Structures are given as structure tokens and as C-alpha cells.
């Protein structure tokens, strides 16, 4: 995608309030080599700031070798996922450019429709996202919980783990 190509977005209100959005960010030219433990923890720090600033919870994220997936849920009427994503992407690119990598110009998003927002559907969406490393054969079948670059981030709950039984 060139800088002049732009993904169509829904009305800004679709990303506000208690919206549930599946975001995908791909590395420019599908670059790899940036994903390691140090970047993972830096990503979590940057994500924490964006989520807290814009009142969003992230019940699951998965960093793959050439892209990232995140599910975000707005937790206040004032939540704004488009602004939060812009905030996060700016800081991620500042870090990634130091190692000659950057994100593609725009993230892909899927705003979950009302019928996709019941608990069962959200759990299925999170499970699908969590199993990305299996489909890419980075972990064995049913080994997704052991993938080191998946997690969740819900501001105020640092002990929360996405694959624990009571999650």
C-alpha cells in the first residue's frame, strides 16, 4: 500500500465509547527480525500508556513475526480508539525506526457489530487471535498459551493473564 492509498474507515463514532475493535498492524514490506523479548516488554509499556490515556482495555494481543493483532474494548463513554491507535502507532514507529523497521501506513480494523459483541462471540474472536501462532506453526497445536509474545493488558490489573482459567 502506498502512502496515497487509504483504508476506508467507519464514522468516527464507531470507534468511541464501548466499541470493540480487532486491530491488525503489519510491518512495512512484512519485515521480520524486530520481535524479541526486549521489544515485547517495550510494546507492553507503550500499549499501557495508550490504553490508560484513552480508557481502553486489551483482553488479548498477539505479536507475530511480521504483524500484530489487538482486541480493544472501550471502557468509558470518552474512549476513543482511533486516537489511541494513532498514539500507539506513533510511539511504536519511533522505536521501530531505530532498528530500520516501521509499520505500514494504516492499521486494518474490524469494528465488531452488535451481533459479534456478545460474550461468546468475543471469546471466539479472542481464541481465533490467540491461535495465530499455531496457524503459523510457531507453536504446536494447542500450544498457543505458551507463545511468548501474546498477552493482555487491562489497566489496573497487572496480574491478569489471558490463558488462566478464570480470565
pLDDT digits (tens, 9 = 90+) for 61-120: 999 999 999 999 999 999 999 999 999 999 999 999 999 999 999 999 999 998 888 888
Q: What percent of the chain has pLDDT over 90?
A: 75
The chain-wide mean pLDDT, for the chain, equals 91
70, 89 Cβ separation under 8 angstroms: no
Report the Cα 3 to chain-centroid distance in Å: 22
Amino acid at each position: 500500500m502506498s502512502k496515497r492509498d487509504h483504508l476506508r474507515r467507519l464514522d468516527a463514532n464507531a470507534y468511541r465509547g464501548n466499541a470493540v475493535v480487532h486491530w491488525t498492524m503489519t510491518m512495512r514490506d512484512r519485515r521480520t527480525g524486530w520481535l524479541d523479548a526486549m521489544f515485547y516488554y517495550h510494546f507492553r509499556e507503550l500499549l499501557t500508556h495508550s490504553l490508560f490515556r484513552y480508557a481502553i482495555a486489551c483482553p488479548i494481543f498477539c505479536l507475530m513475526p511480521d504483524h500484530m493483532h489487538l482486541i480493544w474494548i472501550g471502557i468509558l463513554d470518552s474512549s476513543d480508539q482511533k486516537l489511541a491507535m494513532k498514539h500507539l502507532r506513533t510511539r511504536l514507529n519511533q522505536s521501530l525506526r531505530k532498528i530500520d523497521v516501521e509499520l505500514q501506513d494504516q492499521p486494518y480494523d474490524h469494528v465488531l457489530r452488535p451481533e459479534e459483541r456478545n460474550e461468546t462471540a468475543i471469546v471466539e474472536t479472542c481464541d481465533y487471535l490467540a491461535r495465530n501462532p499455531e496457524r503459523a506453526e510457531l507453536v504446536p497445536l494447542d500450544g498457543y498459551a505458551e507463545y511468548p509474545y501474546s498477552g493482555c493488558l487491562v489497566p489496573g490489573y497487572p496480574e491478569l493473564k489471558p490463558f488462566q482459567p478464570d480470565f
